[in-house]
Amino acid sequence: MAYKISDECISCGACEAECPVSAITAGDDKYVIDADACVECGACAGVCPVGAPNAE
């Protein structure tokens, strides 16, 4: 299943820069992952300082 960013997101942008398929974009109050584009690599989870991206 694709990764999803939880409400723990602090909008730092680290995950967006790390995503190899550009599936992450800034949302209104947190970053969001396009489930159709996500390749489930986990790169976003590896760089997030608060552990917001999680596999669904």
Architecture of domain 3-55: 2-Layer Sandwich (3.30)
Model confidence at 1: pLDDT above 90: no
Tell me the pLDDT band of 56, cut-offs 50, 70 and 90: confident
What's the confidence (pLDDT) of residue 7? 97
Beta strands in the chain (DSSP E): 3-5, 24-26, 31-33, 53-55
13-31: pLDDT as tens digits: 999 999 999 999 999 999 9
Q: Which of 6, 21, 14, 13 is nearest to 54 (CA)?
A: 6
What percent of the chain has a predicted confidence (pLDDT) above 90?
Answer: 96
What percent of the chain has a predicted confidence (pLDDT) above 70?
Answer: 100
Query: What radius of gyration, in Å, describes the C-alpha atoms of the chain?
Result: 9
- Spatial contact of 13 and 4, defined as CB atoms under 8 Å apart: no
